[in-house]
Amino acid sequence: MKIKSIIVDDELIARNVLENYLKKYCPVVEVVGQAQHIKEAVPLIQSLQPQLVFMDVEMPFGNAFDILEACEGQQFETIFITAYAEYSLKALNRSAAYYILKPIDITELVAAVNKVQMAILKADEFNRTQILLENLRSKNGKQQIVLPTLQGFDVIKTESIVKLQANGNFTDVYLADGSCKMICKFLKHFDELLDEPFIRIHRSFIVNLNFIKSYSKSAGGFVTLLDGSEFEVSATYKENLLKTLGA
């Protein structure tokens, strides 16, 4: 099976280098077109109907997310190529999108293509592009996050997450409905990914500030959540917690 693909990047050299890499290291990918910006990319995607689009994040006349919005409703996987834009990386990670940092590493490229190939074969139940667009449009903080489980993926609203607890190579994510999901990621992944109202209080715990009922200074400091559970606040994170709470 060949994966019908398009490359979108404002630099001709970058497009050609990527196409050569794909021919040499990812023969399953068939590049059927190139575009240098949104004005070329949108009609090209609409006419060629690719299964996969390699897309630089920052380009003239609009960024990668503008292209996705213009092509909303069309089904294709995306591998983002980016040199920076920290805000973009968090958005991409929340939607479990594939991305590669410039300069392109061959190993990362092959891994991303393999994941896309598996996603196409498995016909994933969720649309990463749609989740990404919804998160970028969110004005009230009600965003979604894709959680990789042992069985596949779960899409969860971040506001429903009460706490996260390290569990070896996994993270236990506790939700407001009382359920718990074991996620195939270290706690550090979520510490870097989740912004306020999530805050690290211990090397093993992250909590949602909206679910904190009280803070006690006794026994070195601990927080009580609305569900009655109590967690120690380690000295490393105490100052930041008190500052955030305005205490």
Please spell the DSSP secondary structure of 176-218, one letter per residue. Answer: TTS-EEEESS-HHHHHHH--TTEEEEETTEEEEGGGEEEEE-G
135 closest CA partner among 212, 200, 195: 195
Q: What element of type H or E holds 131?
A: helix 128-137
CATH of 3-135, picked from 3.40.50.2300, 3.40.50.1390, 1.20.140.10, 3.90.850.10, is 3.40.50.2300
Domain ranges of the chain: 3-135, 140-245
pLDDT at 123: 60
The CATH topology of domain 140-245 is OB fold (Dihydrolipoamide Acetyltransferase, E2P) (2.40.50)
d(CA 45, CA 49) in angstroms, rounded, equals 5
Q: Give the pair of three-digit tokens for residue 207.
A: 């909590």
Q: Kindly give the parts of the chain with pLDDT less than 70.
A: 1, 85-87, 96, 122-127, 139-141, 150-151, 247
Gap between the terminal Cα atoms of the chain: 59
pLDDT at 140: 67
Task: Please give the backbone phi and psi of residue 104, each rounded to the nearest 5 degrees, phi first.
Answer: -65, 130
The reply to whether 140-245 shares the fold of 3-135 is: no
Cβ-based burial of 44 (10 A; exposed 0-12, middle 13-18, buried ≥19): middle
d(CA 156, CA 135) in angstroms, rounded, equals 12
pLDDT at 34: 97
